Amino acid sequence: DGGITQSPKYLFRKEGQNVTLSCEQNLNHDAMYWYRQDPGQGLRLIYYSQIVNDFQKGDIAEGYSVSREKKESFPLTVTSAQKNPTAFYLCASSISSGDWGYTFGSGTRLTVV
Amino acid sequence: GQQLNQSPQSMFIQEGEDVSMNCTSSSIFNTWLWYKQDPGEGPVLLIALYKAGELTSNGRLTAQFGITRKDSFLNISASIPSDVGIYFCAGLTRDMRFGAGTRLTVKP
Q: What is the pLDDT of residue B95?
A: 78
d(CA A59, CA A62): 9
Q: A108 with A9: CB under 8 angstroms?
A: yes
Residue B1 pLDDT > 70 = no
Rounded Cα–Cα distance for residues B67 and B64 (Å): 9
Measured torsion, CA atoms of residues B6, B8, B13, B17, in degrees rounded to the nearest 10: -60
A&B contacts, CB < 8 Å = 55
**Could you tell me if A32 and A23 are in contact, meaning their C-beta atoms sit under 8 angstroms apart?**
yes
Read off the pLDDT band of A1 (50, 70, 90).
low
Output A41 or B22, whichever has higher pLDDT.
Answer: B22
Residue B69 has pLDDT above 90, yes or no: yes
CA distance B55 to B63: 6
User: Strands A108-112 and A10-13, how do they pair?
Assistant: parallel
Reduced to 3 states, what is the DSSP secondary structure of residue A50? strand
Query: Residue A105's closest CA among A18, A21, A13?
Result: A21
pLDDT tens column, A52-89: 999 999 999 999 999 999 999 999 999 998 989 999 99
Q: Which residue of chain B has the CA closest to A104? A: B42
β-pairing verdict for B85-92 and B96-98 = antiparallel
Instruction: Supply the DSSP string of B22-89, one letter for each residue.
Output: EEE-SS--SEEEEEEE-TTS--EEEEEE-STT-EEEETTEEEEE-TTSSEEEEEE-S--GGG-EEEEE
> For testing the chain A interface, which of B3, B95, B102, B103 should be mutated: the one with the most A CBs within 10 Å?
B95
pLDDT category of residue B89 using cuts at 50, 70 and 90: very high
For the stretch B14-50, pLDDT in tens is: 999 999 999 999 999 999 999 999 988 999 999 999 9
CB contact under 8 A, A40 and B1: no
The average confidence (pLDDT) of chain A is 93
Could you say which of B48, B95, B98 has the minimum Cβ distance to residue A42? B98
The Cβ-side half-sphere exposure at B5, using a 13 Å CA radius, reads 6
**Strand A87-94 versus strand A108-112 pairing type:** antiparallel
Contact between chains at B100 and A42 (C-beta distance less than 8 A): yes
Torsions phi, psi for A4 (to 5 deg): -130, 130
pLDDT above 70 covers what percent of chain B?
A: 98
User: Least CB-CB distance to B100: which of A41, A45, A100?
Assistant: A41
Task: Among A90, A97, A100, select the one facing B42 at the smallest CB separation.
Answer: A90
Contact list in B for residue A105 (CB cut-off 8 A) is 42
Write down the pLDDT at residue B2: 57
| Residue whose C-alpha is closest to residue A93's, from A45, A25, A35 | A25
Task: Look over chain B and give the mean of its residue pLDDT values, rounded to a whole number.
Answer: 93
Task: Decide if pLDDT at A33 tops 80.
Answer: yes
Going by pLDDT thresholds of 50, 70 and 90, the confidence category of residue A41 is: confident
CA B101 → CA A37, A55, B68, B74, distances in Å? 11, 27, 22, 12
pLDDT band at A2 (very low <50, low <70, confident <90, very high): confident
Chain A: which residues have CB within 8 Å of chain B?
A: 6, 9, 35, 40-45, 48, 58-59, 90, 92, 97-98, 100-102, 104-107, 109
Residue B1: closest CA among chain A residues belongs to which residue? A59
